Amino acid sequence: MNPMDRLTVVILAAGEAKRMRSRQPKVLHPLCGRPLIAYPLRTARVLADRIVLVVGPDAEGVRAVAGGDVQIVEQRERLGTGHAVLQARAACGAGTVLVLAADMPLLSSETLERLVKHHRKTGAVATVLTAVVDRPQGYGRILRQSGRVKRIVEDRDATDDQKKIREINTSVYCFEARRLWKALAEIRPDNDQGEYYLTDAIGILAKAGGRIEALAAPDPVEALGINDRKQLAAVGGLQRRRILDRLMADGVTVLDPASTYIEDTVTIGPDTTVYPHVLIEGATTIGSDCVIGAGSHVSASQFGDRVTLKPYCIISDAVVEHDAVLGPFCHLRPGCHIGAKAKIGNFVEVKKSRIGRGSKANHLAYIGDATVGEDVNIGAGAITCNYDGSAKHATRIGDGAFVGTNTSLVAPLTIGEGAYIGSGSVITKDVPPGALAVERSPQVVKEGWAARRSAKHPRRDKDD
């Protein structure tokens, strides 16, 4: 490749982000399940030959999420956006340098591709991506003379007249590398903040007679930058809607997009229906023809096809195989594997357990640190007593076993295949396959006892 045809994307992420009022770097704040920095990186990867990320000091977290294909340079002192780009010089080489701010996650790769194409076609020394917005407050304004871009003025340095301009700088630019470095060397920090502004490079290049182009973003929403938490929420809302639109286009029914929160990291198969007030987050995959009931919260889980989640289930870090039915009100804590066609019902809590194919725990049970075979029936109120006050112990229940209601299974414990546990038992010893285990005192029945008692102690009304 001719070095002049190379495209280097420089992403600026070293700002102090004072307006976030956070101990954490701005670009690590999550937006729909990914750190902010993940969005410009993803967009850049579509078209860049090389990616350079400018980070501030103490940015270990940012380095960690960047990925091996990204060259990282440090801006030790935060002296402004112009100074930040200068730090990337040695890493850039010749060709076109596309600069973008790390805090605008809605920017699309299509728009960047159009910007680069326009820049190269016109032979400009710099091309600015602009947007025409209703509320330009806070953004740099594009100043033109006889239609041509002359310079950019920052909001805080603008006159009242300049503040009325609605054409803003998105902070995305293409530069011809050699001319960029020359212009950056000339920037002076003579502005309200005393910083080296990248925006001044446009004025410097225009003054030197270079051709400056501007291209308007097709949708001004792409220009939205995140400087504070209010903007984080606003942009998050727009990104959330984009995710839902994508899922709906792929065949997922979302009954109420306004109350549905699905993160960018989630995939869902066609003909799955998502009911209102659902939150699905983390690395979650849901198959086709599933139902995600109202009010459910699913995180970092894998569902097969035709899984039904009845309303109000909380599922984290679980694998649920096809045709399983969960809920209403079931809680799968981390580390569960629910087999095909199994049923985990009302107010059942399961932790770090395997439940075999076709097994059922339909009501009010706790299953922890257990391996449950296939076609097992776990009665209402059955509990695995997995904790002895200092350590956790395992319970094994063989295929086809029947655990009666209200039993306590004191672990470590093995219940053999096809064994029966009588209702109300406290089981402390292993039960062999096919056996019946009952542990409770024999029932006493005294015929006529009630009449004899009331003869001795006549009942009185409460009011007496």
CA distances from residue 438 to 127, 243, 404, 433, 434 in whole angstroms, order as listed: 82, 54, 10, 14, 13
Say how far apart CA 251 and CA 271 lie, in whole Å. Answer: 6
Alpha helix ranges (H) inside 223-308: 229-249
- Tell me the closest approach of the beta carbon of residue 167 to ligand UD1, in angstroms: 11
Choose the contact partner of 84 out of ligand UD1, Ca ion, none; CB within 5 to 8 A by kind.
Answer: ligand UD1
Q: Is 363 a catalytic residue?
A: yes
The residue annotated as part of the active site, out of 118, 363, 393, 457, is 363
Choose the contact partner of 87 out of Ca ion, ligand UD1, none; CB within 5 to 8 A by kind.
Answer: none
Q: How many Cβ atoms sit within 10 Å of the Cβ of residue 138?
A: 14
Return the residues of window 219-278 that contact ligand UD1 according to CB under 6 A: 225, 227
Closest CA to 104 of 225, 218, 219: 225
Choose the contact partner of 7 out of ligand UD1, Ca ion, none; CB within 5 to 8 A by kind.
Answer: none
Under rule CB under 6 A, residue 372 binds ligand UD1: no
- Tell me the closest approach of the beta carbon of residue 99 to ligand UD1, in angstroms: 9
Under rule CB under 6 A, residue 54 binds ligand UD1: yes
Under rule CB under 6 A, residue 168 binds ligand UD1: yes
Say how far apart CA 334 and CA 326 lie, in whole Å. Answer: 15
What's the sign of the alpha-carbon dihedral 18, 50, 283, 290?
positive
The answer to whether the beta carbons of residues 109 and 43 sit under 8 Å apart is yes
From the list 95-103, 317-325, 414-422, 454-462, the region that binds ligand UD1 by CB under 6 A is 95-103
Which CB atom, from 225 or from 339, has the smaller least distance to Ca ion? 225
Under rule CB under 6 A, residue 35 binds ligand UD1: no
Return the residues of window 10-29 that contact ligand UD1 according to CB under 6 A: 12-15
Say how far apart CA 44 and CA 101 lie, in whole Å. Answer: 11
Under rule CB under 6 A, residue 349 binds ligand UD1: no
Say how far apart CA 271 and CA 174 lie, in whole Å. Answer: 43
Closest CA to 327 of 253, 370, 275: 275
Choose the contact partner of 81 out of Ca ion, ligand UD1, none; CB within 5 to 8 A by kind.
Answer: ligand UD1
Give contact residues for Ca ion (rule: CB under 5 A). 103, 225, 227
Q: Distance between alpha carbon 214 and the CA centroid of its chain, in Å?
A: 34
Binding footprint of ligand UD1 on the chain (CB under 6 A): 12-15, 54, 75, 78-81, 83-84, 101-103, 139-140, 152, 154, 168-171, 197-199, 225, 227
Catalytic residues: 363
